[in-house]
Chains A and B, each alone.
Chain A
């Protein structure tokens, strides 16, 4: 009996000093030997709890067993039956709140490093098969074997994780898929939001290339709802169904005085300037950004960690996370939190900004904060932060970034009369199918749920792809019956 390895096989990471010099990926991934060692820690439970912890039900036990058997390509194939984006999810999923939280060995030992193993097999496939369309070919051209019209056109709105997944599945099923992206590059939040050091853009590009090879047409610079409306897609351009995966891109602000001072950014703006527009390389690139020396990021989710780590890389001397709750309640991935701390990020827990103070010429110079304490649990189940009277203090700052989450972009719902949304702008959709109030229109991902995770969006895209196939199939069988009622 080999000795039990109590801890996870350590995931190699770039040296913290080296990280500050650029945007190179920090987490380096397992070697085949390390992956094998980690896979052998899995007990291969009869009833795997971890799978219940995965929001899309990836067959975790089976794929780990395949790694342990030395079959990484079969392992990735097993994952892709359920999740099309393992190279991305292996990097960005909050595994410690999902699958790894439920791992049966957790407590006595560290849980199996499921995320790192998922990433390993996905990277292994990319390295060994290129962008070959090896997976999910099982239902290729299913549509053409069906009676009725040979092919149908499906429009996919947005190109983040929900849309990439839906487009891939629909293309492999045999549909002519056109993916419409508002920006000049596809990938959505994976491109403009998540920085290179956490998700290399070559990984996203590989996913996009794979879609192109599968026949998906990608049309950038096209704002659905403005350049083309949903009704024009369906009634003038011949799209039989539409999937809306336009995400939650509208940034939230706190509503405190001074928030419109110069030097105050939303996380979206700060990250977009740098990730998408390369503002850190101004004047080689034309988009500028203020490279703050004392940066404060408000919030403690994944995006806040991305911002604070980016600020450090573009030259901040001091970069803080300010959060009204504690380390325990923060929603950021634990690995990224550790990386941020290693890179020199500073943390002000139980602290909430009250107002921002500016210079005479309108630049932010100070942030007045108040200390908080935790009271009884609120509706989210987390203890409610309450201000401590008289505890106000001033932080000296020159850049403030609000990383408070996002609301759905209003463009599609505003321009589509019969598409029902809630008062925050989330499109109402059946959780099982993504069907909206408008026949033939499906929606999934953050535009339905509000800002959530890549894996949830990918899962929604997958369910919608199946539902769209079913919807178009039914229409094909009864072509004269008109659109079936697909309520929500």
Chain B
């Protein structure tokens, strides 16, 4: 049981929550996630930790409505309790100790690059953050990302703000302009992460992605989150969530992510109709 101490709506479909979870805040490292269940009938879903404050015992998460559970989660308010809030799970991301790094956040993935930007800034790495969304109203956490990045670039698919086009276009432009990234980390929708991987592959830039497959327990027990990485079987929950983007079998991961698309749609529609 974890109490929500702060809630901030970032877009019409995205909210930021600060949750009182001292044990998780104490051990959380950049790139880790929590498993959440909102009620006794609920499913368990993974949510990336956006930020953590050890001294205050707080964990920050960003939730975008994609299905019933995120819909229910986003309807919670300050003072409400999250039934199950477990973590920090997964291996922390391995970040460079110096040089230049690009962080690419797509949609609510921007929430996930924030803790990485903070860590890299603390290490003295030059951080270029590229944050993208379909349109300007869906860009989140711009101020927070700017505060921890040396350079911040916005991209919108419709050109309503910043670079007109995908994050990969901005990334390529930066490389052409002479940025010599030692590493790229991309977090966001799977199609975006695959596009970043294909952009950096010919450039030979080490690239990591945070995989977000379907999970049941999130602790290494069920194998639902299995991926093929460099031809090997990997569990995103305990071997990841970060993997070498150039080795991930994205095609397979995309197919697997749609296993319950039908059920997810039906459940969300019912939940929204019920006003729950």
Contacts and interface: CB of A to CB of B under 8 A. Distances in A.
A260 B221 contact: no
B260 A288 contact: yes
Contact of B228 (A249, A260, A265, A283): A260
B174 interface: no
A402 to B, nearest CB: 8
B270 A283 contact: yes
Interface string B236-276: 00100000000000001001101110011011001000000
A103 B157 CA distance: 75
Given A226-B27, A268-B223, A361-B255, A284 B86 contact: no
Contacts of B228: 260
Contacts of A273: 216, 222
A393 interface: no
Interface in A260-299: 260, 262-263, 265-266, 268-269, 272-273, 277-278, 282-288, 290
B194 interface: no
Contacts of A253: 223, 226, 233
B62 to A, nearest CB: 21
Interface residues on A, range: 35 or more
A263 B255 CA distance: 11
Interface stretch (B6-14, B41-49, B97-105, B185-193): B41-49
A223 B87 contact: yes
Interface in B197-242: 216-217, 219-224, 226-228, 233, 235, 238
A182 B221 CA distance: 11
A268 B267 contact: no
Given A223-B89, A226-B89, A286-B42, A251 B222 contact: yes
B23 A222 contact: yes
Contacts of B23: 222, 227-228
A184 B2 CA distance: 13
B37 interface: yes
A240 interface: no
- Majority secondary structure, B binding face: mixed
Interface string B79-103: 0000111111100000000000000
A261 to B, nearest CB: 8
Given A284-B41, A286-B69, A410-B238, A250 B216 contact: no
A323 to B, nearest CB: 20
Given A222-B86, A227-B23, A272-B222, 20 more contacts: A182-B86, A184-B37, A184-B86, A223-B219, A226-B27, A227-B24, A227-B27, A227-B86, A227-B87, A251-B223, A260-B227, A260-B228, A265-B224, A268-B221, A283-B270, A286-B41, A286-B68, A287-B43, A362-B256, A411-B219
Closest 6 A/B residue pairs (Cβ): A362-B255, A269-B222, A288-B263, A266-B223, A249-B221, A286-B43
Interface of B: 23-24, 27, 37, 41-44, 68-69, 83-89, 216-217, 219-224, 226-228, 233, 235, 238, 252, 255-256, 258-260, 263-264, 266-267, 270
Interface of A: 182-184, 192, 220-223, 226-229, 232, 249-251, 253, 255, 260, 262-263, 265-266, 268-269, 272-273, 277-278, 282-288, 290, 361-362, 409-411
